[in-house]
Structure 1
């Protein structure tokens, strides 16, 4: 059993360290991946990444959905959004998704995007399924135009609350594409020893991770260290159960990377040293399912 690959998340990465970490990420071209969004790092993440990406053409995922203040103003000026829509701060309309994809390409310096996630559709003002149908229609159009390879859905709690589910996403993508041969190929959701619902379900072959994996989709695990808080919450005893030769952060990261069905762990490393520590952790053998179940039982009893 192998662990998930490591990908660079840019939600919390320090701008001053970004170039060095991208260089480190690019060292292994077989696994290199960057995940970003137009609203990360106060709206500067994509522009800050562009110079490093020009040197290191790493595959990446970005997002559509949340509006920065500047994007909202520009979208209204372009006639893509009304002032009322812009004030909501989140939109997945067909016209906006097309506009934001073009803006993402410009900011990242890419003619073609590898993967675009519809970002937190549970935040939409109306029915998230209708919003996703609109977004998927736009994204299928981007694929047809040759400016996008594939798309996905990134959610914080949509799968856990039941507002989103894999069969419905599969159906909506087929409706948008007009065929079951659609280009919805990934989901992103939090997976950690704290946000453990999806992890626990996956250990039993159930839930969104197992269902997505069954369709051959990629599964991106976000917040594996729960925003950096998990190492302070975990005990040395827990770490020993997972792997006694690892530090607490490494053991917690390995646990998430060992979840069956997860294909990539996204880590917002603050320094190249933190990235190297994470790489070392994921080179270990995956934690057995029985051990992961025991760890979750210990946490549930705490």
Structure 2
């Protein structure tokens, strides 16, 4: 089976309209408090109110200058911390989780992700892991209070660079919870440009098989590499992936077919792009042999 299509709002230009389309198909929606210059969550709120069963994931970590000012005024961050534009201190995680709930109009968040934790403490794994553990402890408290259903990590380079592994995240969550934890998901880039997770998964190693073994949701971000990938894939390669698909559809299908991926995040602002992607994930999944052939072709000089 291919992964499900989900709406990613990072580069989405028409969030309210895109959210309505996603809601109509029951697609998961992913957002963050710093997206759309800090407006993404409030723009999503009407669609979420109209579709209370719709799942949404949000984040804590990055924030806009205006949010930083609010955090300073509330006493959550110092001026120096706010100037960094990113924080995963326990007080900030707790405050941002409450703010996310208010902006999204949800009493309970389906999923809250630590946003690029590898940004802090570069090269200092013990300090990074302690920070993640402390943030997880706050999210465990929020889960016990009924404010959060689950949590996880949204990373760009942390897993590939092994600043942390899935196994280490699971151990930190268990430590934070004192046993049974609410770690539920990872989010990482997977594409025909950033192929490492695909190559590793085909060999039964890396973060994706580890996530599958742990029952975690895996959300593949940037499947079109910021919209650049379709222009890099010619029709010959698209036909190798699946005859009859457009380059964009072929790229989406490849990611959706990757073992372990459960959701493919796409910032499809317009209805035609959303339908095109939906048609792609409705295709039969590529086999492991087909995926391996594609990675070999793309790795060739």
Q: TM-score, normalised by structure 2?
A: 0.96
1:119 is matched with which residue?
Answer: 115
1:114-193 equivalences in 2 (<5 Å): 114-125=110-121, 127-179=127-179, 181-193=180-192
Cα distance per residue 1:138-188 (max 9 Å; x no partner): 100100111110001010011111112011101100110000x10001000
Counterpart check, 1:19 vs 2:16 = yes
Structure 1 residue corresponding to 2:25, chosen from 24, 28, 39 = 28
| Secondary structure of the structure 2 residue equivalent to 1:158 | coil
Counterpart check, 1:277 vs 2:276 = yes
2:9 is matched with which residue?
Answer: 10
- Taking the aligned partners of 2:237 and 2:32, their CA distance within structure 1 comes to 33
1:64 is matched with which residue?
Answer: 60
Are the equivalent residues in 1 in contact too, given 2:71–2:77 (CA < 8 A)? yes
Structure 1: which 5+ residue stretches go unaligned? none
| Secondary structure of the structure 1 residue equivalent to 2:160 | helix
Structure 2: which 5+ residue stretches go unaligned? none
1:39 is matched with which residue?
Answer: 34
In the TM superposition, structure 1's runs of 4+ consecutive aligned residues that sit over 6 Å from their partners are none
Cα distance per residue 1:224-281 (max 9 Å; x no partner): 0001000011122211111011101000100000000001100000201111111011
Are the equivalent residues in 1 in contact too, given 2:15–2:40 (CA < 8 A)? no
| Secondary structure of the structure 2 residue equivalent to 1:117 | strand
What is the CA distance between 1:20 and its match in structure 2? 2.4
| Secondary structure of the structure 1 residue equivalent to 2:63 | coil
2:194 is matched with which residue?
Answer: 195
2:244 is matched with which residue?
Answer: 245
- Taking the aligned partners of 2:227 and 2:25, their CA distance within structure 1 comes to 25
- Taking the aligned partners of 2:62 and 2:21, their CA distance within structure 1 comes to 29
What is the CA distance between 1:19 and its match in structure 2? 2.4
1:87 is matched with which residue?
Answer: 83
2:97 is matched with which residue?
Answer: 101
What is the CA distance between 1:69 and its match in structure 2? 0.4
1:226 is matched with which residue?
Answer: 225
| Secondary structure of the structure 2 residue equivalent to 1:261 | coil
Superposed CA RMSD in Å reads: 1.0
- Taking the aligned partners of 2:93 and 2:166, their CA distance within structure 1 comes to 21
Q: How many residues align?
A: 296
| Secondary structure of the structure 2 residue equivalent to 1:188 | strand
